[in-house]
Each structure stands twice: as structure tokens, then as C-alpha cells.
Structure 1
Amino acid sequence: MDIQLSILQFFQSLRSGVLDTLFLILTISTEIPVIVLLTTIMYWCINKKYGQKILFSLVGNVAINSGIKDVIKAKRPIGIEGITSQRVSTATGYSFPSGHTQTATSFWTSIIIIFKNTWISIIGAIIILGVGISRLYLGVHWPIDVIFGWGFGIIFTVIFSKFFDYVDNEKKYLSLILMLIPFALVAFLVNSSSYIKSFGLLTGFVLGYIVEDRYIQFETVSKNKNKINFSNKKDNKIAKNICRFLLGIITLGLVYLGLKYTMPSNNLFDYIRYTIVVFYGVCGVPFLFKIFKL
């Protein structure tokens, strides 16, 4: 603990207005509004399969991170003498492992796996490293939390990515359903509100993916991409994607708010609410695209 405290104090000694701004931006880049924005744009508008793979890895990592936190129950450095913590409003729950770090690592590791591009890999590695350091600089996590956030994020993202490819290529939907069983057992054992919500996110993705893949099958990449067309097809595609995003994000927000203010707040209804929200985002919104010919 003394070594970890010394590391935090070292980062605190570097405090400046510029670094405050830089590390706040890095830490905010992995919070829910930004991640939802990026993943929905990828899934609804750019490449469906890429979006599904990223989302699967994200919700899987979030559930694992939340489960480990509720088992270990490690305290944060917030309030420790000599440590000034910033942005504590988003530093909720237990400390180990760092959720922001694992989320950033999951997102950017997925991007690196998908695109296999040197510059994207360099940018991703810098952001992964930066987000982890930001949690130390802001005084909301111990070094061990960040180290394991990096490690878990990489390991589980590789596992989830390979598993998604297997399920998607072989159409092994039952494998996805069976995967939920150990997560359900953890939910029963830890009986934690935060984990129940995370488990709902994962359940919503699994059910939504199966329904979309079997029955809706919307497209983001044109089947006639090799066909020469001298019309304003590119402009139409941009307008179509803008309409898709606005329709999706507005209705998703309405579904979330509607459920939040009409359902009781307890573990069962929290699980149902988060399951429905992600299910709607994964297959309900694409169904609207079909209805409105988007």
C-alpha cells in the first residue's frame, strides 16, 4: 500500500491546469455517454458486424469488471490523507479493477483487432495507457486497479472477440445462451445492484443479437458496393446514416427514460430494464430502419 500511495502522490505532484484538462478528457472518453455514442454509430451506421463485436466485448467486460469488484470489495483511495481526488461523481462502487481502464482497453483492443492497422494500433495503445494513468492522476484508483484493468481488458476482449466470431460464423446461438449461465450464478451469489445491471446489459445484447441475426438482418454495407454509380449515392448514404443515428439515439433515450420512470427500482426490475434497453438498441432500432426503409 505504501508503494501504491507513493505512486499516487507522485502523479499528484505533477498537477497543472493543462494536465488536469488532458486527463479529465481521457477519463471522460470512456464514460457511458461517449461509449454509447461511438458504438451506436459503428453498429447502426458504419459496419454492423464490427459494432456487434465491439458491443459484445464491452458488455462482457463491464459484467466481469462489476462482478470482480463486488467479490473483492476493495476501497478506493478517495479520502486518503495526502490524496486529492477529482471527478469522484463517476468514481462509484469499489476500486478493483478499474472500470474506466478496462472499458477503454476493451474498446480500443476491439478496434485494434478489427482494423489491424499500425497507426490505429499506436493511437489505441496511447489512449489505453492514457486512460489508465488518468485514473491515478485523478486519485480515484490504486495502481493495482489500473494494471489489472489493462490486463483483464486485453485478455477478455480477445476471448470475447474470438467467441463472437465463432458464434457469428457458425450460428451457434445456443452457445451464447449457455454463456449467460455462469454470469447468472454470479448475479445470484453477489446480489449486487451494479452487477445485476451489468448482467442485464449482457443479456440484452445476447437476446438482441440472436433476434436481429435471425429475423431482421439489417445492412450497413451495400451489397452492390462494386457497382459503378454516377449518381449522388454518397450524399444519400450520409443523409441516411444521419437519419439512422437520430432515429436510433432519440428512441433509445425515450425507451431508457420511459422504463426508468415507470419501473420500480430493485434488482429484478433493474435487470429487466437494462435487458430491454440493450435489446431495443441491438434489434429494435434496426427493426425501425427496416420499417422506415433506412
Structure 2
Amino acid sequence: MSLRQRLARLASRLQEPQKVARFQQLCGVEALPSDSSAAGADRRGDDEEAEAPLTGDSRRRGPQPRDLQPPGSDLNQCPAKLGGGAPNGVRNGLPAELGPAPPRRVGALRRNSLTGEEGKLASVSNWPLYYLFSLGTELGNELFYIIFFPFWIWNLDALVGRRLVVIWVLVMYLGQCTKDIIRWPRPASPPVVKLEVFYNSEYSMPSTHAMSGTAIPISMILLTYGRWQYPLTYGLILIPCWCSLVSLSRIYMGMHSILDIIAGFLYAILILAVFYPFIDLIDNFNQTHKYAPLIIIGLHLALGIFSFTLDTWSTSRGDTAEILGSGAGIACGSHVVYSMGLVVDPPLDMLPLARPPITVTLFGKAILRILIGMAFVLVVRDIMKKVTIPLACKIFNIPCDDIRKARQHMEVELPYRYITYGMVGFSISCLVPYVFSFIGIS
């Protein structure tokens, strides 16, 4: 057997959904049979609803178990196959037909607010692992990003925060585009239990959660070591812990095969190896070049137009517009801040920087900046959402009675996501620091 055949055989084994299901069972996750899950859902009263775990997704709270479809419903009906494509936006997997199993405690995560698809009821016996992997999967979701990047820019180191955003945009954009080119479906259900369905309409290969979970901690260490004084041991511990937690959480949730995770990890390493040497150049260009805002906006729009034509609707298209819009907004904001002199990076002769002593005043200002800044950002996002969606519907003559259906039209979704999150990014890197400077907490 040749090396190529051995690699193909290994890849086929690593993509088997049975391995994902085996990992879930090892962690205490099992599907409930159709009859027992439906009956159990009907028997539970209001006093038992509090036992169901709440969603960790930033977009919407998970539905109560009695509102969910039983595992025998017509959700997730597209079987996965190695090397084969499937239309994007189609639910992956098959209806559950498992034998009877004694239910212990029932929970379901995440409802897709755009498609209406709901997760299946599942029996979870190991709750510490459930919450641990729920935390791990949140490290690749919008709620984490909208807190993590502003925290770096406002409280820790604006230069590191800006460059982390550049790396994040590169990694996520290339990952999303690669998914739409390869077009491999999610692991089949059954045997896999889908604890999360929000990203189920996207393709599977590679795992962008694994890519961001690899690129972000590695970039943090590369950008901060030598700039700040701290033991390298901390970074060598952080990288494998962060990466493995995010990656394993995607297998636990039933969203990715082992092959997807390995490919995402290696792909992120490749992107960092190619683009990291140019991060300083990109950041300096964004801040100092006279026509940087026009070039940034034009480049991000061009990248978006290319990726938006790759496939039909799925959450991937909106997420890509959101990523590009956020990156363009933060880059343009950094240009304005530099021009106004609001945030000045320390000179090279001051490096490495020493960690300032943690005092009540320092801690209080940090908390105040987070509270005021996040309130400002959320208000901007809400205003832009309420303005851009009806405006796009009116311009392109699309009915706006059902917002969920309206957002699935490319003419509505792309302007809404790009403009809204462009303003969010601009607020994070420019408007909020200006507010901090004005009220004296910068």
C-alpha cells in the first residue's frame, strides 16, 4: 500500500462519525429514544424546567426541553460522506433511531434563530464536562470575541489587540472560504448527538473553531513575549490548554469530526507561518497611510464579494460579512485614533513593559471602561441593526414582516452585517477610546 493510500485511509477513519459518537459516550452524552424523550418532555412541569441548562450562545437562549422536537423528528437529514459535497444550508445528519436507554438528566443546547432548527434532547451524565466544553465552544463564538478584543484594546495593550484582530480576520476568513470550497457536511446524526445546531447549516471542513482556538493563543504569546515581562512558561501552558479545550468541545458538541479538528489546527499554523511576519507592516499601514481607510474598506468589500458568491445561503455568509466588517471597522478606527493622538504606543526603548501594580483605582477604572464601553457598543449595534435591515428591505423591495426570512436574502444580510459590525469595530477602536479620554478614564 502506497503512502498516499495509507493517508487516504487514515483520513477516512478520522472522519468517521462513529468516532465522534464514541467520544460523546465516553464523556457521558447519549441520545434519548424517540418515545421516552417525547413522553419525558410532556411529563415535565414548570417546576422542573429550571433543571435544563441554559444556552451559552451569544445569539439566543436555548429553548426549554418541552419545546424541542423529539429525536425522531425530521431534523438533520443529510448523511455525511467522505469527499462528497452537499448543498450548503442543508441540515446534516439522519433522524435518530436509537434503542431505549435509561434517561438520567435531559438537556439541549442552542437553537438556530435564523433557520428555526432546534437541538435534540440528550441524556447528559457528566455535567462538569458538559459545562467545561460549553465554555470551550464559547471561546469561538461572537459573545467571546465582542468581549475579548475590546478588553485588550481598552485595558491591556491596544497594539496587541489590533494585531490580534488582524490575525483573527485572516484565519476566520480563509477558514470560512475553505469550507465553502471543500463542501464536506457535518458528522451524521445518528450516531452523533447534535448538542448544538446554530452552525449546522455550514460545512464542516476545516473547523474554524479549532483554527481560532489555535491562532489566538499562539498569537497572544508571539505578540506579548518580549513586549511584556512574564515567564514564557505561562504561554507554553496556555496554548495547549486553550487549543485542546476549544477543539475537543467541537467534537463533544457533535459539530466536527476528528479530521476537521486536525485540519483546522494545521491550517491555522500554516496561516500564521505565512502571514505573521507581515503583521507589523499591516498594522503600521492601517495607522499611518494617508489613504488607509479607503484601501481597507475596498479590500474587505472585495474579499466579501468573492466569498459571498461561493455558495448559497448559510450562516457562513453572514458570519464572513460580520468578520470582515469588524476587521475593517477596527482598522479604520485605529487610523483615526492615531491621527488624533488619542492612543500612543510606548516607544521601543521602554520595552519590555513591566506589569503595573494592581490597585483599587486601576481595577476600578478597568471595570468602568468595560461597563461603559460595552454599553456603548451594544447600543451602536442595536441602532445599526434597526436602521440597516429595514433600509435594505426597502431599497431591494424585500418584505420586512418576518425579520428572520428577510435576513436570509443576500441583499439584506450583507449590508446589515457589514455596516453594523463595521460600526461596532469602529466604536471599539475609536469612539469608545474618545469617550474614555473625554471623561478621564483612559
Tell me whether the two structures share a fold, i.e. TM-score over 0.5: yes
| Residues 44-63 of structure 1 mapped to structure 2, 5 A cutoff | 44-63=154-173
CA contact (8 A) 1:56 1:160 kept: no
1:100 pairs with one of 201, 209, 228: 209
* Unaligned 5+ runs, structure 1: 226-231
Seen in structure 2, the aligned counterparts of structure 1 residues 9 and 269 have a Cα distance that, compared at 3 Å, is: closer
Root-mean-square deviation (CA), in Å? 3.0
Q: TM-score, normalised by structure 1?
A: 0.84
Q: Which residue of the other structure, out of 301, 306, 328, is the alignment partner of 1:186?
A: 306
1:24 aligns with 2:139: no
Equivalent AA in structure 1 for residue 248 of structure 2:
I
TM-superposed deviation, 1:181? 6.9
Q: Deviations over 1:231-256 (max 9, x none)?
A: x9943333222222211111001111
| Contact 2:179-2:206 at 8 Å conserved across structures | yes
Amino acid at match of 2:140: T
Q: Does 1:141 align with 2:256?
A: yes
For the 8 Å contact 1:208–1:282, the answer to whether it is kept is yes
Q: Indicate the structure (1 or 2) with the bigger Cα radius of gyration.
A: 2
Residues 186 and 255, structure 2, Cα contact 8 Å, conserved in 1: yes
Q: 2:246 aligns with which of 131, 134, 158?
A: 131
Q: Is 1:89 matched up with 2:100?
A: no
Question: What pairs up with 1:134-173 in 2 under 5 angstroms?
Answer: 134-169=249-284, 173=289
Q: 1:212 to 1:187 in 2, by over 3 A?
A: farther
The answer to whether the 8 A contact 2:165-2:327 is kept is: no
What is the alpha-carbon distance in structure 2 between the residues aligned to residue 73 and residue 152 of structure 1? 16
Which deviates further from its counterpart, 22-31 or 173-182?
173-182
Structure 1 residue 220: Cα displacement: 8.2
Question: Match of 1:288?
Answer: 435
CA positional deviation for 1:128: 0.3
Q: 2:415 aligns with which of 243, 268, 291?
A: 268
* Greater share of residues in helix: 1
Structure 2: how far apart are the matches of 1:164 and 1:212?
19
What amino acid is aligned across from residue 310 of structure 2 in structure 1?
V
Instruction: Name the CA distance, whole Å, in 1 between partners of 2:131 and 2:193.
Output: 15
Structure 2: distance between partners of 1:118 and 1:69: 35
Amino acid at match of 2:372: L
3-state SS of 1:107 partner:
helix
> Which of 21, 24, 28 is the equivalent residue of 1:9?
21
Paired residue secondary structure (1:250): helix
Change (3 A) 1:263 1:234: same
Post-superposition Cα deviations, 1:207-250, rounded to whole Å, max 9, x if no partner, equal 2222222224325879xx9xxxxxx9943333222222211111
Moved more, 121-130 or 88-97: 88-97
* Sequence identity percentage: 22
Paired AA for residue 289 in structure 1: F
Find the aligned partners of 1:3 and 1:162 in 2 and give their Cα distance.
33
Counterparts of 2:135 and 2:417 in 1: how far apart (Å)?
Answer: 30
For normalisation by structure 2, the TM-score amounts to 0.58
Aligned residue number for residue 228 of structure 1: none
Structure 2 gap ranges (5+): 1-11, 29-125, 226-231, 312-316, 351-356, 390-406
Aligned length: 287
Cα displacement (A) at 1:36: 2.2
Between the aligned partners of 2:319 and 2:145, the Cα distance in structure 1 is 18
